Every structure is written in structure tokens, then in C-alpha cells.
Amino acid sequence: MKKKILSVLCMCAMLFSLTACGAGSDEGSENSGSDDEITLRFSWWGGDSRHQATLDVIELYESKHPGIKIEAEYGGADGYKDKRMTEMAGKNAPDIMQIDAPWLYEMQTQFDAFADLSQFEDVLDMSGFDEDFVNSHCALDGTIYGLPTGINGTYMLMNTAILDAAGIDSAQEWTWDSLLEDGAKVHASDPEAYFLNLDQHSLTYHVLRPYIKQLTGEQFMNDDYTIGFTEEQLAEGLTYIKQLFDEGVMEPASESFMYIDAFYDNPIWVNNKVGADIDWTSSLSARMAGFADTAAVTKVPQMENAKDTGILVRPAQIMCISNTSEHQKEAAEFIDFFLNDEEAISILKLERSVPATEAARQQLTESGDLDEIVNSAVNLALENAGATENAISQDMQLENILTDAVENVGYGTASPEEIAKETYGLLEMKLEELKTK
């Protein structure tokens, strides 16, 4: 009997606490959802300065549009994609989202996450954006789901002080062969210095991939889930990477591969003992901060008779509207302001890389905010851009297999030919798996 009373009491206590808390939260949501004020959620990732600039633009927008409140949801890059995917599964995604262009395909096919932007053409001006660029990176099957915040391209950044000290002509037309030949001189003249500093990811993405694409001139992976290169061509690319280590162009893998995704934290980079790196323009100003006076940019090295430059151009990020948003039109108006308004552009500057519209670039050049080097790096990439990559070429699982191969080459576990053979088999297996999915 007593037991029963106790259990009933416990139940009551729990129910009471449930309802009490529930009531509290209801009040909260009523306040934010009142009729006269529209609240838009806007999420992005970034660093301190991007947060501040974006918040300033939001404040400006709110002052110009009374009745609209923009709730900023910002944070670091870590876990950002997980969170958005969970929200999309729960149909509770923010109205306006900054996403990375390669996520578009996955999120749209899996969750039908984004709204078609062309239906808002009367409030969202897309005329300033390059049509091909938007169509190839922010659209699926001809439907535009996002607009680029900026342009991101690949290029080679050099520290001319290091190159001059080793007697290397930095103004030359760089080829993979000259990189190998001249690059060795840096380490030869200063045992602490190296010509090229990359980690295993960037070495795969910015050396192996362009090298192979210049050999083949084809897509890296074909749309029919076959590999766009032969085993011999892969072996050739891996042999080249082995030479980079053997000739002392790069710091030994045991050191340089410790700085995964952060080769600019490598002491040789921090202490200005590096001649060059190859990476995206979006992080250029941060990476050249230590040697801004002697920095120079050039295009990604080319081989003779290259069939494709292998140089990539893509949006820094893209701005999308949630398909489940109740205020899509207001969201579109905000995106229009965010990307096209002169005041907004002058606040945001290069926080999301070099702007994608010609008008914004013009404006920032005139105001002196568009750094000469950053601008020339973007132009180099734009002028020499190779074929746009298809979706399958950007698959992360395939990329990881290649990264493993590069690691094995770096650590010298087997000959490049053996590694190429094994890797080729793994790629075929993974493609087969992706195809049947």
C-alpha cells in the first residue's frame, strides 16, 4: 500500500514539474512569434571578424526594416554541418543559411532542404552574378538554390624572400618540373627551410589532383561512377609526390603530416621558413600575414601540354533559404541586401572571400579594401580555371582513399606503383558501393 502511495506521489511530482516547465517555454515562444514582428533565423560559421561584420550588417538591416528581427546563430566551423543536418531532419532549419557549396547536393537530395530562389526574382536581384558560375555551383538540375557569397580559387602563394635567398626566379612560369628542380634549392641553401609546405589533405587536393587532371583533361571521376584516370597515371602522380619528399622540396612527412588541415601552424611556416603553398584564396590574407611584404601569387603549376589547368574556382560559401521557412520572401529580401547593397558590401568587405559580383569587386577596389594580391590571386584562378568538377569528383570518401595513398607515399611504406595499384582497387570498390546506393 505504502509503496503504491509513494509511486503515485513520484508520478505526480514528475508530471507537475513537466507541466510547470512546459508552461514556461510556451510563454517564451509566444513572445518571439508575435504578429507585428517577423523573426528570421540566420546561421553562419566563421571567425571573430566575420561574426562582427555580419552582426553589423544585421543591425543595419534591422534599423532599415522595422518589424523584421534577425536572430543570429553563429559559431565555429566545428559541428556546423552536423547541426544543420539534424535541423533539416527535424524540419526546423534556420530561414537563412550559409552553407558550403559541396553540401548542396547531399542536403537537397536527402532533406529537400532549400527553396528555389528564382521564384523571388522580384526582390532578389541575381543579375550581378555570373550565370555559369551560379548554375554550376549553386544549382541542381537547373534550379538555383543558393547564391555565392564570394569567389574562391586555387593558386600558389610564394614568399619571395625565401626564393630570392635561394636564387630562384619567382616570376617564372611554374611547371611541376621547375617546382621540383628549383624547389630543392631552398632546402639545399638553408637546412631549416623548405620550398613547399602542405599537409596530406592539401597535398592530395592541390598537387595530386591537378597533376592528374592536367594529364587526362577529364573529370576526376566520371558521372557513370568510373575513374577518370588510369592506374599508370595515378602512379605517375604519386611518383611525383615521392620526388617532392626525396628531393627535399617538402619537409619529411613525419613532420609535415602532423599538421592536418593546419599546415600554417607548422613551425616552419610560422617562422617564415617556407617558400610556397598551394591553397584556396579564402584563407590567403590570413596565411600571408607573416610575410605580407614579400608575398607573391602565381597560378597552380602546369605541366607541358596540360590538357586541363586543374585550377578550381568555386563559391566561398553559398547563401540559401530553408524550404520549411515561413518567411521565405523576407529571407530573400535580406539575402538581396546582404549581397547587393553597397553599405552591406562596405561592411562585409572580404570576410567571405572576394565578392562574387563585379559591382561589389569594383566598389571594394575603389575603396581600397580589395587587397592587390588577393584580387590578383582570384583573377589568376578565374582566368585559368579548369573544368568545373562534377559531384562525384568531390566525394569525401574517395578523397580519403587518395589521402591515404599520399600518406603511404610520404611515409614510404611501399613503392608508388604498388600504392597506386592498391588505391586504384579501393577507388573502384568504393565507386561500386556509391553507385548501388
- Which positions touch other proteins (CB under 8 A)? 2-3, 6, 10, 14, 17-18, 21-22, 25-26, 28-29, 41, 43, 45-52, 55, 71-79, 82-83, 86-87, 89-92, 94, 261, 264-267, 270-271, 280, 282-283, 286-287, 289-290
Residue 38 identity: I
Would you say 26 or 177 has its CB closer to other proteins? 26
Find the shortest distance in angstroms from Cβ 77 to other proteins: 4
Q: What angle do CA 204, 396, 212 make, to 5 degrees?
A: 35
CB of 225 to other proteins, least distance (A): 28
When the beta carbons of 139 and 344 are compared against other proteins, the nearer one is 344
Q: How far is the CB of 265 from other proteins (least distance, A)?
A: 5
SS3 content of the chain, % helix, strand, coil (to 5): 55, 15, 30
| Whether 37 contacts 67, CB under 8 Å | yes
- Min dist. Cβ of residue 280 to other proteins (A): 8
Q: Which is nearer to other proteins, 226 or 394 (CB)?
A: 394
> Which residue's CB is nearer to other proteins, number 272 or number 362?
272
Q: Toward other proteins, which CB reaches closer, 175 or 285?
A: 285
Smallest distance, other proteins to C-beta of residue 283, A: 4
The span from the CA of 256 to the CA of 265, in Å, is 10
CA distance 404 to 260: 13
Cβ neighbour number for residue 112 with a 10 Å cutoff:
12
Whether residue 208 contacts residue 406, with contact meaning beta carbons closer than 8 Å, is answered with: yes
Strand partners, 39: 69
State in angstroms the smallest separation of the CB of 413 from other proteins: 28
Pick 154 or 170: Cβ nearer other proteins: 154
169-178 long-range contacts, Cβ below 8 Å, gap at least 24?
170/296, 170/298, 173/302, 174/298, 174/299, 174/301, 174/302, 175/301, 175/302, 175/303, 175/304, 176/211, 176/240, 176/301, 176/302, 176/303, 177/303, 178/301
Task: For the CB of residue 153, give the shortest distance to other proteins in the complex, in Å.
Answer: 14
Cα(411)–Cα(389) distance, integer angstroms:
29
- The residue among 78 and 224 lying less far from other proteins, judged by its C-beta, is 78
